[in-house]
Structure formats: structure tokens, C-alpha cells
Structure 1
């Protein structure tokens, strides 16, 4: 088997074993069943209900009272008031919904399938299934094309005329195949969530429906089958192809989130017609060319000390079982890394919505946590690998979303808090809803979502050095800062502080034994403020504008509390040195300054780095890292602390304890941020570029003594290839996007490199670092 393939010797029995495909907007989960195939479908803009205005009109008049109560230590009263005055009205946002399911019932009888293989080819972005039934070999290929905006399923048989199947679209239930009647049927009691299914004269199946709720989003899906030989029949919403050699099923879908409702069918047919005008081979090649233009920018190869690598040919479920039994599998880490990149390419492309809690792959009409945008860590984590792992275009949907959040967040900032700028709380949805979500003291009243998201705009600039982009997005960063400037108040110690606040999503214990969630001046808030204000000040210098605003920010920074070390030697989580109710809590928000922030650094702030390590140790000793995304965050933090073996242990634990059979991350249940965080963490182990230098192999573990990586990106506009052997750097090739200088380090070696022009390449070789341009 190819080293970039996830393969299985059996069909998926449950959704968490199915293989994901996607083009940013249209996603599918391929089960690979021999008799009744199921491809579960999602369209990224099909969400329940329409937009709402949920800003609480009581907030502004109650804000002062809540602050006063918190400053005086009356936590319970402050929380009781917040639970009525600061929640959104209504308190919940919209949720993501599935598009439906495409079923294919094969007519080749009940003979047992042999020679079965199902695999996802990460090199080409294609899922494949093949098996033998009787004397006929059947093959299927599945992909979702970004250039053609259709999903394609190619079916073929080795014996002419032996391909016969019945296809049906369903929504809201799992269909059943009746071999006696030769038909697909819904279970008893099924209530359709589809308005209408009809067939055009050419055989196209056209499905129309809507999501639930008032003003629900309308959708249209069109399915067309083109075939070689054979005959198509249509009856009762089912399409049958009889006695063909091969066939291509094309699926297109869209919603009135992007198009007028009367244009939905026209748009789907336009896509289908354009795709049908191509041969299948051309459709496939266009998909591969587009996909590989992103995927092949990077390669990662990790070698362990074991010379027998026959285990690499085992099916994925057996490789994971072997790993859980304590065996080594460095190339599975490489595969997991590239799978994360594959998922980002497949769920976040220009023109799509950003990847939500499940990317785009969701089977439930009411998914856990609504499959929304949770912006107190999870959405941000989805995009940690975008820049470092050479997929900056995949970051664009998040930037588009931030623009919409900015517009709505201005209104919420004004109505609820009397502030300028824009605010977002800990959740949002398709409508970029910025108002508080849920009625939860540990998360609902946190106001730093817009500020944290705005830092992604700076990241994109810092990796690509595009001043035009920075000029475009500076106003967004500024508006996030303006809200903070207006929202800050003086606390009893004379500091500027965020109040009310919380440390997502933990609870502290007071000296009298009571517990609380609301506070003022949570450490995470101060760290985000420092990061954002500093980046805005840097932007004004680069753009040579807005110096007066920069001075305002600089002055405010002098009154923002510094990072404090608490009584356990840990980074203090709150403005007072409280103990946590859950010392092993999944969130480690007060280490934002370590990662993804840049204020804690083993070289520049060794005492804070030591305290961060103690913080991680305490969390893990008390059971931390028990959710997939939390384990991924911890991995990134150990990498930033240059603790190679701890980082590697967390990579292994992520794979052993928080990875489903199809390599999806398990929260539990499935949540995709752990995949993206895991990929970003592996990259951080091999290359870091915060703190004003490029650091080569900063956290290389003993388990990866030999290996190479190509195409990692570094801040400052650099691409880096690295090769190492026996745990030591062999050479590094660093390429610049513009004339610049950069400090590079490896272990105790340091060098300043001077790139005279864009696209210059400098190679560092050997122990003495021979430089070759």
C-alpha cells in the first residue's frame, strides 16, 4: 500500500469508520459497502433556521452593577445577575444540518464479496473501493471536485454488462434495501425532510428541501448518472441502471444562503452540465491537478529504529491497534500529519464557509455542540496548520467569516456594552452571530472571541509578508482593539482589566470554600490583549499610519497586568491566585501566551517557561488532556517548550486514545480540531519561527532518529526543507519570498542569514553550517 493511503479490508460498519471527501462546500462520508453503499452528504451552508438579533437589551444597564459586585467579591450575586442580564435572547444560536444520504444498492446478489479493499488516497484526494462478487470485479472511485463543484462517483465492472444498481437520495433516516422487491425503502414512521423529488426527461434527479426553523435555509441537490451501455429506469424517486459496463454519478448541491431560492436548481444544473461535458478522465484529472497544487507543497517522512516496516501494509484499524499495544509506527505519524492537511483542503477552500467543529462532515440533524464555530479555542485550532503547513489559501474562509462577524459584532458591542469596535463571544454560527451563546457561567460571558480571531489576520501577514493584505485587514484588528480599550475598566488594584471575565471554561475556589466562574482580569484575557495590541502597534509601523492610535495602545499596555506565577509555581490562571475546581481541566487557557501566543519563550522568558511546564505537569497529573483537542493543544505547548519527549508522548497519546478508526479525532465524540491541532503540533516539533528566529528541529524526539520534511513555512516569508539522520541535522534549505535577514538556530548553533532578493535559497550543511546560496 502507498504510504499516503488510509486503507481497510472491510466496509465501514459505522460513520466513524467511513472515509471523508470534500471540496470545501460539498462533503461526503464514504462507507464502501458492497451491497448497499451509503455516501452521507453535507453542504457547508445548510444550517437550521435564519439569522437572529440576540443582543440582550438589559446588558448595558446591568454591566456596572455586575462589575461592582465582582470587585467587591460578591461573586454569587454577580453571577446571578449576569445569568439574566448578559445572556443572549434567545440564548441559543443556529446549528449545522446534514444534506442527506446518497444510496447505491448493487444488484449483484448476496454472494459474499472477496478481495475487498477500501482506501483514501491522500496523494490524489480520492476514495476507492474494490471487491469481487462472483466472477466480476467491481471498482468505485469517489471525489469532490473544487474546480467543477460536483461530487463524482465512478462505478465499473470487469465483465461487460454486469453493472446494475438502484440509487436513491434520502434525508433524516437510514434507508433499507429489500432484496425481495428489489427496492430501497424508508423505515416505518419515517417523516421526510424533503419538499420534493422529481425527475427530468433526461433522467436527472432533482431534490428540493429546507432546513427547519422559521426562515429555514432552502437547498437543491441534483443527481445525474452518465453511463456506458445499459439502460436507466426511474420510478418512485428511485433511479436504476441496468446491465451497464460503467457509470459516473454526479452530485451538485447549493442553498439560498449563497443564491436566490429561484436560482438554486439553475445553479446545480449549470454545475452538472459543465461537469458532464467533460470525460470522466478529464474531470478526474482536473480534480487531481487542483488538489495536488495544495497537497504536494509538503512532504514528511519519519523513520524509527525498526528496520522491518511490513506493518505499514496492515489495514488502518490494525495499525492503530498495534500502536495502542505499545508498538512504534513513525510513518503513521507522517500519515496522520498529512491527513490533517487533507482535511483542511477538503473542508476550507476560498468561497466556502470556514471549517466548523466537524469540518464539513456531520451526520446528525441536531449535532453535539451544534457543530458550530466555538471561538474560545476550537475554531482557532482548526487553522493552526494553515500557515505553517503551507495551506494559506485554506485560511481565507476564516478571514471572510471574520469580516461578517465584525459587521454584526459592532452592533452587539454597542447595544450590550456601549463600546465601539466589535465583539464576539465564545460561539458563532453561519450567520456570524456574535452575541452570547448558552447560559453557562464558565463560557457565555467571555468577550475575547473577536480579538483572538483577529490575530489570525496577523499570522497570515507574518507568514506571507503581503503588505496589501495587512493594509486591508488592519481595520479589523483595530476595531477588535477598540472594543477592548472601551471595555477595560480600572480594578481595585489600579490595573486596567476585563470585567466581567472568565477563564474558559474553568471554575476557581475562593478562600471560604465557595466556587466561582465569573471574575475580572483572567490571565488569558490579559495575554490576548498584549498579543493583539502589540500586533496592531507593529502594523502601524509597517504601514506607516495611525501612530496616534498606536500610542493609545502602548499607554494601555503599561496598565495591563503582567503574567504572574502562582503558589504552586504555575502560571496564574486568574487575577488572584485561586486553586482550580478541576486541576485537570481540559482548557489550559492561561497558557495562551505560550501557544498560540509568543510571550512565553524558553530563551527569552526562562522563568515563565518553567512555570508553564509546571502548569502542564499539574494539568496532566490530574487527568488533563482527556479530550482530543486538549491533547493537541498540550502537544503544541510541549513543542514550544522544546520538550521533545513530552511532545512525542502526546502525539502517541493523541493517536492511542483520541483517534477514531478513520483517523478522525475523538473529543469524544468526533470533533475535527484535534486533527488540525495534531498536525500543527507535529510541525512545531520540527520547525518554529516565533520569537524573531527560525528554530530547526526544536523538539525532535528519539523515536524519529531519521527523517525529512519539505515545504514547512516560517514567519517572515520563508519556506524550509530539513533532513536529519541519527537525531542530528544534516541540512536545511531555506527559501525567502523577499529580500530580508533572519536569525536561524539549531541546538546551540546560531547564524544570521542575509537574503539579497526574493526566491533566494540558502542551504545549511554539516556541523559547521556551510552556507550555499
Structure 2
């Protein structure tokens, strides 16, 4: 049934000003260096690090261990990479592409694979097969450690360590030798410093030494009243590369502070505040990538921060953070008690199977982590967000573009953090120049193109092995994020800025696509379906083919978005006619005899039926070409494909389970979506709730947060759908501030599984359809107005 509402209903509050229903925190009864419950998970990472609590402001990251006698604060600066820029495009590659295509069309997969493996790779060492620490590709690295040695070894009691999500502050408290000690830690975005306040309830009770170190390539020395750690990383070519610096100062009440040799020492103080700034000489400007005044920036940051009273610095931090965090609240549990430590609550999931309060925490923790690791004028969140304790981060901590960096930003728009998306947008536009070179040199094509591994040095070539390193569909996938920010905000000034980048990505595919001699349709290739393999008709193991469904889906979506963008901006570029023609002639994803979406253009048997990637289901999520309104046949086929993948052991990694959560949500199956999410809590979460591949990858945290939102609100079918995949376990609840495409935010509550109240806030205005179950409300909205959706409650 449809209801038409044209009157404007003023609401008491706007949809973006709601505070969290109840305070959420991660908390523990012991330091990270002590033994805590981990549910039996065998970590590949340092177990203590996976108990530490993360802080960040998009530039500086910190992991707080909270040890009583010897505190460790592990540090990151998001631009800190070893390696250097270089020429990795293979000028010999393009001339072999036609021959490889012909071999694939002829069914000669063994020969095609051999030629692809030999020719369609980067020049040089590439990523070092995931070990970029000694090659120019480089790796994201730890900045080092701030260590506080209190010179004690006496017992302590009443210990508590927590991360409060509503103010982004880690707190530690304990009693030792008859003194009650408290600590506060936060990383301020306005001041760009880490601040640590140590206090006690007795005068003169605080004494410690502070040092700065890292595993290699550093010098730490006192300079006046501060401690400075500095150095230069390996450039991968036998010389020095990126330079960095961290500065530490202290301000005390009572006692003395001295800075000599390699340490800062505090003696008999009543209270101490430590301030740390950090920077590198990295500038995100191709091709040099150097020139930032890191020494001057760190000095100015400390000078400004230490000139403020601590309370004022803290207040500015909280205000800046809450401006983002407080936009969304979620309540799924009627039990808001906070008497069970997080690690114990997580371990309890093994037997309970579901914990709505823990789900609330995980959802908001994902939003917290995105705020902490991505800000508008910083690099994007990488494979580990901003947090890595290694010289060689897993998979180099780079920007994997066959799902991982994209998954990092899945919650950005729907979870009301849209401006954080711009860190990815700016990065995409920043790599367009080297990617244009890659398209021309590596593939002999126009436009720009990237492949699965991208770093901060402008590496846009294929990897060293085509089976995982040759995925030209990555360009189209990452371009979805350029479009999605417009789809949610309707910001035409933004769209005008990114439109040329979208066009040039589409231009690449126009020159890349070729006609399949059997079907006459346009196909992409040679291409993989990340990162799966098949049994080829000639009996060989294959990963490269022509027209895999993933590429076809991504390319069609990009062409559609460019055409839509041109209409919005009233562009009349001649390329638009070519895009329309090519789109009409694209090979569509095929449905096999068993009713499943085929991963490849032909019915090749999968080598790994339970593969972690669900690449052929891109058009279901995060794309939305497969939808109930327009393509129900594909929706049914996608459901069968997902069921088959899971029956054979799929979703075995943390991020893959997050993807499955979103896929089930799009299929409107709340019970299955919740089951996939709960697998993350039961089997793929560290004590500090970091998501485990394993090892730790932050994309699973972000993907799961997006999945929870997708269960509650969808807007991909040209309408706003309320509670599309509500599981029975969430029978009562409310959510405020989720965002929908078209420039809308939604507040709603439900009881006994049925919608109880709902309000839509229009930021831009225009026609809008809102759906709940079989009822639809048609609205003619005006910018800045709220609409109560009472008609949906009948």
C-alpha cells in the first residue's frame, strides 16, 4: 500500500543531534601485558598488543597497554612508510595482451596462464610478495614506543583499564602502596598531539622515567626540555628514505622534571601531563612525495598544546570527537549494565551465542575506529587502520583494492561519518596520475587504472603474480566510493570535483573491453575473479579468464554512475554516447544450470568452493544492481551462490564474515545476517575487539559495523527501507541518525519486532519513498524538514 504525505511536520529534534543511549566502553580488570581471556583463539599477532586499547586522530595512533609498573604506549604516524617511489610499469606487458586474449578465447588456458604469468606483472620486485620492508614498495611501520618505567614491583589492587567510546579517552586506575593512581590518555585531532595525564591522591607520589624507541633506525636524545626521537627509514634501494620525528615534553605540578641523555625523568610530582607530537617529511604529491616540514610541525604542535591548560586541551578534543560520534545512537538491549569486562563478555559468546549489548558496543566501536583512523586531510585508513606494532605490517599494511580498503569505508555514509569518506576520495584522486601512466604503459590503454596493491608511493602496477595481482576491476570498485558520497549527500559541488576522475576511469574500460567472439558481447580481460581459481576446460588450474562476473558487474556500475553524474551536472561529453553503447553490449553475469550466479563467464568448476571472496556477488553488495525491484532473478541466484559458498566453508576470515553479514542483510534475511555477525564475535575477535583475519585486519571491524546498519536501514532500491533484515533477537530497539541515499537521516524505534515510531530528516529535499514491509509512504520533502512516518505504523 502507498501513502502520499506532502505536509511538513515539525519535529522537536533534528535527526543528527542525538546522544548515545547509554555510555559504552571497552574495559578490563588487568593490563594488556597480563593474561586475559581470549576465547582460545591462537593469535598470530602479539597477544598483549591485541589486548591494548587503540587511540587515534587520523594522523597519530597509539595503543595503550596500561601496565602499572612499566607502561608501554605503542605509537604510529599514518604516513610512516619505508620504501620510495619508482617506475614499476612494465612496458613489455601491453603487446602480449591480444595474444593472451586469443588464447583464452580458444580455450588454451594453460598457455594463456603461462604467458600471463610471464608478461602481465610489474617491473621490479613489486610488493616483495607481501614483504616490502627491503624493496621500494615499502611497508607501513610502527613509529615506536613511549615507555614509562615507574621503578616499582610492588602489588597493586582495584585495577581497571577502559576505553570510553563517548569521549575517546583511555583511563587506567589502581591502588599501589596506599596510593590511588589514575591516568588519562587521548589523541587530540585539533592539537594533533597525544596527551597522557598521570595523577595520584597523595602529593609527590609520581616518579618515573620516559623513553622513546623503535626496533630500528632511530636516535633518541634530550634537547632542552624535551625528548626527541628521529631517523630515516630504508628507501628499499640501499639508502635513506622517509624522515620522521617524535617529540615528548612534560608539564608537572610539584616535583621535578629533567631531560638528559636518552630519557625524560619525573621525580616526586603530584601530577604530570605528557605531550607527544609526531610527523614525517611525507607529502602526498606525485612523483616526489617529500617536503613536509616535519621538524617545524612537531615543534609547533607541542608549543601550542603545552600553552593550553590540560582541561582546555581535553575539552577541545572531546568536542571535536563528539561532533562526529554523537550523530548516531543504537540500542538493541534492554540491559544497559556494564558489570562484565569486555574480554569476559566476549569469551561468554562461545556459550551464549548472542549478546545485544556487545553488538551495540561493536557497532559503535567500528564508528570510533573510523573516526580515529580517517580524517578528511589524512591518508585513508589502511589494512590496519592506523595501528601496527611491526616493522613489516601484514601484507605491508597497504591499500588492497580488491575489497579491503573499500570495506574500510562501507560504514562511512550510512553511519553518518560521510566527511571521513573524503580521506579515501582525496587519495583516489591523488593516485590518478601514476594510474594514468600504468594504464598507458602497462596496458596500452587510455584513462587510468589500478590493481590490487597500492601504496603511498604511487604504486599502481599489477603485482608480482597475476593470480592475485592482476585485477583491473579494482579501479571501478574504488570509484564506487566517489559516487556513493554523492549518492548519500547530493553534494553537486563535490560531484563536479570527482566527475573527471570517474570519466577517466570509465575511459580506461572503454579501451580495455573487447568483443567475445562467441557471444559478441564486450568482456574484460585478461582478468581474475579475486582471488579465486577454477578448473579450466583443458585440465589446467586457471585464475585468469575473459569476462569474470566481478569485472562485468563493476564496469557496468561505473558506466551507470558516470552517465548519472553527467545528467546531474548537465555534461555533454561525447564519451557518454560510447558509454551508453558499451553498457548496452556488456556481457551480463551468467546464471548456471544449478541456479547460481556464475563466477566466470563459463561454468568452470571452482578449485575452492568455500573461497573467502564473494567477488561474483559484488552486484548484490556493495553494489546494488541485483535487487528485488529490478532483478529478482539475480537476487535468487545470488542467494543460492551465497548458500553454496557457505556450505563449503566460506566466510572463514573475519572480513569475509563481515561481507557475508552485508550480503544476507541485502537479501533481507536478518537471522542469517546476525549469525554471520556473531561468528565474528565468537571466533574472529581479539580481546580488544580488533577483527582477525587472522592476523588483525581492520576491514572486518568496519564491514561488520556497516552490516549492522544494513540490517536496520537500506536505500539502494530507489527508496528508504526501514528494518529490512531485523532478526528476532533484536525484537525491541531504537536507532537514531543512520543515513540514506538522497540526503536523508532516519530515527526509528521498534517493539516486539514491529516498527513503533519513525522520523525522516531531509537535508536536501526532493521526492522520496519510504518502505516498511508492504507499505510505502511517498514524500515530497523540503531541505531541513522532518517527517513523521506514522502511516507506516498501521
TM-score, scaled relative to structure 2: 0.92
1:7 to 8, 21, 27: 27
1:542-575 CA distance string (max 9 Å, x none): 1111253222111001211122111321111001
Quote the RMSD (CA, aligned, Å): 1.5
CA-CA distance at 1:94 after TM superposition: 2.3
Q: What SS class does the counterpart of residue 104 from structure 1 fall into?
A: strand
1:60 is matched with: 94
For 1:165-204, list aligned pairs within 5 A: 165-172=208-215, 192-194=216-218, 196-201=219-224, 203-204=225-226
1:682 partnered with 2:693: no
1:279 is matched with: 309
133-142 or 545-554, larger mean C-alpha shift: 545-554
1:565 to 591, 600, 612: 591
CA-CA distance at 1:198 after TM superposition: 2.5
1:702 is matched with: 728
What is the rounded CA distance, in whole Å, between the counterparts of 1:263 and 1:328 in structure 2? 50
CA-CA distance at 1:513 after TM superposition: 3.6
Q: What SS class does the counterpart of residue 297 from structure 2 fall into?
A: helix
CA-CA distance at 1:636 after TM superposition: 0.2
1:288 is matched with: 318
2:162 to 111, 119, 124: 119
Q: What SS class does the counterpart of residue 460 from structure 1 fall into?
A: helix
| Contact preservation (8 Å) 1:375, 1:427 | yes
1:184 is matched with: none
What is the rounded CA distance, in whole Å, between the counterparts of 2:105 and 2:273 in structure 1? 67
CA-CA distance at 1:767 after TM superposition: 5.6
1:42-75 CA distance string (max 9 Å, x none): 1001101111110011112212221121111111
For 1:47-446, list aligned pairs within 5 A: 47-90=81-124, 91-92=126-127, 93-107=137-151, 109-172=152-215, 192-194=216-218, 196-201=219-224, 203-213=225-235, 214-258=239-283, 263-303=293-333, 312-439=338-465, 441-446=466-471
What is the rounded CA distance, in whole Å, between the counterparts of 2:495 and 2:336 in structure 1? 47
| Contact preservation (8 Å) 2:110, 2:540 | no
CA-CA distance at 1:512 after TM superposition: 4.7
What is the rounded CA distance, in whole Å, between the counterparts of 2:636 and 2:506 in structure 1? 30
CA-CA distance at 1:3 after TM superposition: 4.0
CA-CA distance at 1:238 after TM superposition: 1.3
Q: Which has the higher contact order (CA 8 A, sep 6+)?
A: 2
| Contact preservation (8 Å) 1:731, 1:766 | no
For 1:597-636, list aligned pairs within 5 A: 597-636=623-662
What is the rounded CA distance, in whole Å, between the counterparts of 1:209 and 1:249 in structure 2? 22
2:753 is matched with: 727
What is the rounded CA distance, in whole Å, between the counterparts of 2:503 and 2:735 in structure 1? 37
Q: What SS class does the counterpart of residue 325 from structure 1 fall into?
A: helix
What is the rounded CA distance, in whole Å, between the counterparts of 2:793 and 2:187 in structure 1? 49
Structure 2 unaligned segments of length 5 or more: list them: 1-20, 34-47, 128-136, 284-288
1:582-610 CA distance string (max 9 Å, x none): 00000000000000111111333222111
| Contact preservation (8 Å) 1:730, 1:766 | no
Q: What SS class does the counterpart of residue 423 from structure 1 fall into?
A: coil
| Contact preservation (8 Å) 1:255, 1:261 | no
| Contact preservation (8 Å) 2:777, 2:789 | no
What is the rounded CA distance, in whole Å, between the counterparts of 1:408 and 1:260 in structure 2? 16
1:476-511 CA distance string (max 9 Å, x none): 000000000001111222111111011000001124
CA-CA distance at 1:79 after TM superposition: 1.7
1:188-210 CA distance string (max 9 Å, x none): xxxx420x322222x21111111
What is the rounded CA distance, in whole Å, between the counterparts of 2:657 and 2:423 in structure 1? 26
| Contact preservation (8 Å) 1:372, 1:427 | yes
1:104-134 CA distance string (max 9 Å, x none): 0113x22211000000000001111111101
What is the rounded CA distance, in whole Å, between the counterparts of 1:19 and 1:316 in structure 2? 12
User: Relative to 1, partners in 2 of residues 1:453 and 1:767: Cα closer, same or farther, differing over 3 Å?
Assistant: closer
What is the rounded CA distance, in whole Å, between the counterparts of 2:649 and 2:353 in structure 1? 23
2:541 to 512, 515, 522: 515
2:61 to 10, 18, 27: 27
Q: What SS class does the counterpart of residue 159 from structure 1 fall into?
A: coil
CA-CA distance at 1:435 after TM superposition: 0.6
Q: What SS class does the counterpart of residue 352 from structure 1 fall into?
A: coil
2:131 is matched with: none
CA-CA distance at 1:82 after TM superposition: 1.8
| Contact preservation (8 Å) 1:157, 1:246 | yes
What is the rounded CA distance, in whole Å, between the counterparts of 2:786 and 2:419 in structure 1? 23
Q: What SS class does the counterpart of residue 652 from structure 2 fall into?
A: coil
89-98 or 579-588, larger mean C-alpha shift: 89-98
| Contact preservation (8 Å) 1:36, 1:103 | yes
Q: What SS class does the counterpart of residue 719 from structure 1 fall into?
A: strand
Q: What SS class does the counterpart of residue 241 from structure 2 fall into?
A: coil
| Contact preservation (8 Å) 1:24, 1:345 | yes
What is the rounded CA distance, in whole Å, between the counterparts of 1:693 and 1:432 in structure 2? 39
1:327-378 CA distance string (max 9 Å, x none): 5310110110000000000000022100000001001101111110000000
TM-score, scaled relative to structure 1: 0.94
1:186 is matched with: none
What is the rounded CA distance, in whole Å, between the counterparts of 1:489 and 1:429 in structure 2? 30
What is the rounded CA distance, in whole Å, between the counterparts of 2:153 and 2:434 in structure 1? 56
Q: What SS class does the counterpart of residue 728 from structure 2 fall into?
A: coil
1:270-312 CA distance string (max 9 Å, x none): 00000011000000000000000000000000026xxx665x4
| Contact preservation (8 Å) 1:97, 1:211 | no
1:406-439 CA distance string (max 9 Å, x none): 1111111111111110000011001231111232
636-645 or 561-570, larger mean C-alpha shift: 561-570
1:590 partnered with 2:616: yes
User: Relative to 1, partners in 2 of residues 1:318 and 1:215: Cα closer, same or farther, differing over 3 Å?
Assistant: same
| Contact preservation (8 Å) 1:401, 1:432 | no
1:684-706 CA distance string (max 9 Å, x none): 00000001000000000000010
2:490 to 465, 471, 495: 465
Q: What SS class does the counterpart of residue 532 from structure 2 fall into?
A: coil
Q: What SS class does the counterpart of residue 532 from structure 1 fall into?
A: helix
| Contact preservation (8 Å) 1:303, 1:705 | no
Q: What SS class does the counterpart of residue 506 from structure 1 fall into?
A: coil
CA-CA distance at 1:235 after TM superposition: 3.7
Q: What SS class does the counterpart of residue 487 from structure 2 fall into?
A: helix
What is the rounded CA distance, in whole Å, between the counterparts of 1:94 and 1:671 in structure 2? 18
